[in-house]
Chains A and B, each alone.
Chain A
Amino acid sequence: MNKKKILKKSSNVVTREIEGAVILLPLYKTSKEFSYIYTFNKTSSVAWDLIDGKRTLGDVKEELLSKFEVGEEKLEKELDEFIKDLVSIKAVA
């Protein structure tokens, strides 16, 4: 994970919290993504909120460490996977 990297949310996605579920909706879907629904769990929804185009990935990791009881190595691995998923669905750049 490049800790200095700053990610920005794509303007082509929007998130909604419905009945406790945080749902990410692509605004302009490709045919492959058509009708897919992306949902976050509790940690990933906090991580999503922290991605603001200002914080570095290192900052995001530190804030998550302060909020959740989790080992640094495990969190870094999970965050890395999460970012890869976000990039793959073009939710961040």
Chain B
Amino acid sequence: MTIQITDRKESKGFLKGIRKCAAERRNPFSVMFELTYECNFDCIHCYVRGSRKEKRELNTKEVFSVLDELKKMGIFRIGFTGGEPLLRKDIFDILDYANKCGFKKGLLTNGYLIDEKIADSLKNLNIDKVEITLNALNAAIFDKMTRVKSSFEKVKHAVELLVERGIQVKVKSTATSLNKNEPVKISQYARALDIPYNLDCEIMPCRDGCEAAVNEYSLSGRETYEIRKKVYPEMFNGTRKKSKTKRRHDRMFNCGVGKNSFSITPYGEMNLCLEIDHPRYNILSKGAEASWEAIKKKIDELNNISNFICKDCDLLKYCGWCAGRSYIETGSFNKCSEYFKKRAIERREMDYEQKKDSKKKLQCCNKGN
């Protein structure tokens, strides 16, 4: 008769085990819950822009009902996101309710509203992790990306307030043509604070399919490769073991969609993920279990189509194709994405060049010997 006590370091492995188990059984484990589409920033690359707008978002009581449903179906981890979730007047009631339900809670915020008082409240409400977008350490670049004056100082201060309180913080950025020299500095800043840093090199199209930001601010594959090499040197110098997970060629969805995760809109609809708003099922009228079953059925249908577009493609090895992005870009889950195709061709060229270089080096070494 024992209580197993798992500390912060070990808990990661323990939860990974449970998540894997949930995926095998196809039980949902984690959820992204968009609490609002309202935002106090107007980031140049935001994919939430163009989201479908309904008359009103869920009220407090309705959010609680959704949380009850999630608890019943065995969800363990919820990431509260938006828009900017801290703009909701009832955010602390929601976090308190989620805490009492026994969820692990993450908050994805731009950090602008976090002052001492809010940081204390987040600590008291037992928030497990706060993720803050920090796209630059240069104030002018940061403000240019958020399109809000003096936003940098507030956001950086928010990160430090949370760290001071012992709250787990993760900073993340999207690499764009505006901030391409910043990620290395941000990763050094994160290392100094002993917090994780995540760099995303892909700009998502807006939910209405608009790709203006993608076209204007995207970096080339070569540029992102060079940035990643500097930000994550351990991934390129062989000191970190590379993940063995490879994209499966016989199925459309290689992520957690339909296995152990889904997302929820501010209107209480269950979606496949944050990127895709089709199909959607209303949790309060249909029920969470029934909605999840419908999502699984949809994923099974899509995973089993006989004419899956990527199946015999030569670029498959180099392509990071995602059904969600393909849907936004082309209106179909089973169409080639120009964005990914371009990236894959670039990756193939880089791969050829690297192999050629290695061969040359080897020949030089042999001659030397």
Contacts and interface: CB of A to CB of B under 8 A. Distances in A.
A18 B15 CA distance: 10
Given A25-B102, A35-B7, A39-B6, A18 B1 contact: no
Interface in B5-54: 5-8, 11, 14-15, 18, 21-22, 25, 27, 29
B126 A28 contact: yes
Contact of B5 (A21, A36, A78, A81): A36
B11 A37 contact: yes
Nearest to B14: A37
Contacts of A24: 3
B14 to A, nearest CB: 6
Contacts of B11: 35-37
Nearest to A31: B166
A23 B18 CA distance: 11
B363 to A, nearest CB: 52
B3 A85 contact: yes
Q: Is the interface of A mostly helix, strand, loop or mixed?
A: mixed
Given A18-B76, A19-B74, A21-B18, A38 B3 contact: yes
Report the contact-size class of chain A (Cβ under 8 Å from the partner).
35 or more
Contacts of B76: 16, 18, 23
A10 interface: no
The 8 closest A-B pairs by CB, nearest first: A35-B8, A14-B102, A78-B1, A16-B102, A37-B6, A43-B1, A39-B4, A44-B1
7 contacts: A14-B100, A27-B99, A29-B126, A37-B11, A41-B2, A75-B1, A82-B2
Interface of A: 14-21, 23-29, 31, 34-41, 43-44, 47, 75, 78-79, 81-82, 85-86, 89
Interface of B: 1-8, 11, 14-15, 18, 21-22, 25, 27, 29, 71, 74, 76, 99-102, 124, 126, 128, 166, 168
